[in-house]
Amino acid sequence: MLGVTGGVAAYKTAELTRLMVKAGATVDVVLTAAAAHFVGPATFQALSGRVVWRELWDERASGGMAHIELSRGADAILVAPATADFLAKLAQGLADDLLATLCLARECPLLVAPAMNRQMWEQAPTRRNLRQIDEDGVTVLGPASGDQACGEVGPGRMLEAEELFEELAGFFQPKLLAGRRVLLTAGPTMEAIDPVRSITNASSGKMGYALARACQEAGAVVKLVSGPVALPTPRSVERTDVKSALEMRAQVLAALPGQDIFIAVAAVADYRPATEAADKIKKGSAGLELSLVPNPDILAEVAALPQPPFCVGFAAESRNLAQYAEAKRIAKNLSLVVGNLVQDGLGGDDNSVILFDASGSHTLPTAPKLEVARRIVAHIAELLRGR
């Protein structure tokens, strides 16, 4: 069930309706009186292929009880946009229109996508109302920060339709890691040569961030230690930024106590310069020689602890994938190694991987990295059940 309140962001909800219907969902739309001033019912009826609901006492519902009956078969209610006024209604349990009454009388999960002026978003009453609905079990999606219809810039912008669609898909993922605590590393490390140059690996961080999101979707409490990337932090994931391998090692070891699962996705540089120049090394006609020393093997160190968490490693190879990935799993005593050829996914949005565990190898089909991550999480959960 899709609730639409009175905000200019309602135009995004029309696109969200189209995306959900295209994915096979049955979407019932409920408009508030204010919402109809922005996008009319005819638009949502055309996109959903179903009657649009507006009135509290609509006689089309069974027994004239639309406020009770409409949500009974729904898997969830999403209110998008959710204005400051509507968030206040939810916090106080008001039921003065059809949508507010449906939310109060529901037996299914409730999600809201706030949308409002940045000053409204930042005011104390709105913050108080958000805390209250969070305590009441309402899931808040967003908002984003950026240009607003009023001409201002800041937090309060509703998530885009595609983002809300992905959030809904994640919300309905099986909670295979419920109660688990997961620590991940992602992205590259950068080992300084001088103040402006460094040694690094070619890693976008996309696979690690997809796994962090997939673990969160599966119900885990997720901590992410990230090298330098240009990616947003997945919702409800605690992120710590680092640059070098030594910084990453320190943050991993500090966060490790109490973790059930450690997933080492980061492309940690194997070597670092023996010394870092205090000033920029000036270019000359002669060559430049660097003395390199090995970086610590963070994954091997964690896996070698007396009581290690469930350890997952990654093996990105250019050839002989099965040979090298299985050797890595055995040498480091890992529960699982995710292997891929760099030409099959490095830096891209899709990936093709093979999972290596004690029972053999398992090939996953090529898919977007988030879908691959969800399949990896399912495999981890299966291995954990076996333990």
pLDDT in tens, 300-349: 999 999 999 999 999 988 888 889 999 999 999 999 999 988 776 566 78
- Looking up tokens 């990453």 gives 248
pLDDT of residue 61: 63
Comparing CA positions, the residue from 292, 278, 295, 290 lying closest to residue 242 is 295
Decide whether 2-171 matches 181-386 in CATH topology. Answer: yes
Helix, strand, or coil (residue 264): strand
- Looking up tokens 């059930």 gives 260
Q: How far apart are CA 185 and CA 23, in angstroms?
A: 32
CB neighbour list of residue 24: distance below 8 Å, 6 or more residues apart: none
Helix, strand, or coil (residue 317): strand
pLDDT of residue 318: 85
List, as one string, the DSSP characters of 79-94: EEEE-HHHHHHHHHT-
pLDDT of residue 149: 75
Q: Judging by beta carbons within 10 Å of its beta carbon (0-12, 13-18, 19+), is residue 55 exposed, middle or buried?
A: middle
Every domain of the chain and the residues it spans? 2-171, 181-386
CB neighbour list of residue 90: distance below 8 Å, 6 or more residues apart: 100, 103, 110, 112, 129, 133, 136, 138
Question: Helices marked H in 84-235 — which ranges?
Answer: 84-92, 98-104, 118-122, 124-135, 161-171, 206-217
Catalytic one of 103, 150, 215, 311 = 150
pLDDT of residue 202: 85
pLDDT of residue 153: 78
Helix, strand, or coil (residue 158): coil
- Looking up tokens 């595609």 gives 162
Q: Is the domain covering 2-171 a CATH 3.40.630.30 domain?
A: no
Q: How far apart are CA 345 and CA 45, in angstroms?
A: 41
**Class of CATH domain 181-386:** alpha beta
Helix, strand, or coil (residue 261): strand
Q: Which residues of the chain have pLDDT under 70?
A: 59, 61-67, 344-347
Residue 215 catalytic? no
